[in-house]
Amino acid sequence: MTVSSAPGKVYLFGEHAVVYGEPAVPCAIERRATVSVERRDDDRLRVEARDLTLDGFTVEYSGGSADRPDVNVPTPLVEAAMGYIDGAVEQAREAADAPDAGFDMVVESTIPLGAGLGSSAAVVVAGIDAAARELGVELAPDDVADRAYRVEHEVQDGQASRADTFCSAMGGAVRVEGDDCRRIEDAPNLPFVVGYDGGAGDTGELVAGVRELREEYDFAADTVRAIGDIVRRGEGALEEDDVEEVGRLMNFNHGLLSALGVSSRSLDAMVWAAREADALGAKLTGAGGGGCIVALDETPAAETALSYTPGCEDAFRAELDRKGVRAE
């Protein structure tokens, strides 16, 4: 059996705008998805999913997501989850030139599904790495990142960026602008606090909504460009270890994302709870619509405030994870 893991992420700045070629800065965090893979004697896949904020499921099939498990979870999330696993397997088969390889796979994760913390990217990255190694092929992290991006791009109907998959494969803080991806080597250890409302946004629907606004209104397109300006300013603040400025720019970024219609009442409530507890900054992270916010606070105050905020199901500290995909 071969086992790999990969980290989730939070966005300091740039979600949604990165889809249109603007830069983004996601940071890997120490919450991971782990994929265990064992080759079978036939071409079938048996996938057991645990701890994905689903009820858990096991399904065996010949490929394709038509054989969806019967679990009490929104259909788009389950179909997408299975699409990601199918895509990871296909990439590993291609890398090893083993098109008929079958696998028993177990997927476990401490990253909430669909909550803006990069759960799908982590599962795809870990899945490709584990399945390829089970077939005798060692892939470089940047190759895993590229293959994982292809999977997300297909599952998300061409609306994915390279940000999530590159960050998960490489670890640490990264900068992504179109196809230009690089690690930010000297990024400080930022004091992340994450609040989770227990929900999940529909990434495809939210991205499509921003696209419609951008095409209909010039000021929405200007808002997307303004997010890119915040990212560029934020890079300078990171290089200077100016954490207070990073926090201020996160606040601006949240306001612009809210203007684009991707925030929600629960996300706004958590953002304001963290700010009122004197967090340096707070914003939604990921596609929005529900899920998680990220705040910067070295004290226990923001985490405590979030734990008492109506609609916040969980609050936790998160360290920057400088390790990307790895064998376990």
What is the location of CATH 3.30.230.10 in the chain? 2-185
Q: Which CATH class is domain 2-185?
A: alpha beta
Predicted confidence (pLDDT) per residue in 244-265, tens digit: 999 999 999 999 999 999 999 9
What is the location of CATH 3.30.70.890 in the chain? 192-318
According to the model, what pLDDT value does residue 78 have? 55
The CA angle 16-175-154, to the nearest 5 degrees, is: 50
Please give the CATH topology (third level) of the domain spanning 192-318: Alpha-Beta Plaits (3.30.70)
Catalytic residues: 164
Q: What is the 3 state secondary structure string of 135-196?
A: CCCCCCHHHHHHHHHHHHHHHCCCCCCCHHHHHHHHCCEEEEECCEEEECCCCCCCCEEEEE
Predicted confidence (pLDDT) per residue in 174-197, tens digit: 999 989 999 998 888 899 999 999
Whole-angstrom distance, CA of residue 229 vs CA of residue 37: 42
According to the model, what pLDDT value does residue 29 have? 95
- Between residues 155 and 89, the one the model is more confident about: 89
Span of 105-119, 277-291, 313-327 with lowest mean pLDDT: 105-119
Instruction: Tell me the C-alpha to C-alpha distance, in Å, between residue 65 and each of 39, 62, 70, 80, 118.
Output: 20, 9, 12, 8, 21
Average pLDDT over residues 23-39: 95
Residue 328 has pLDDT above 60, yes or no: yes
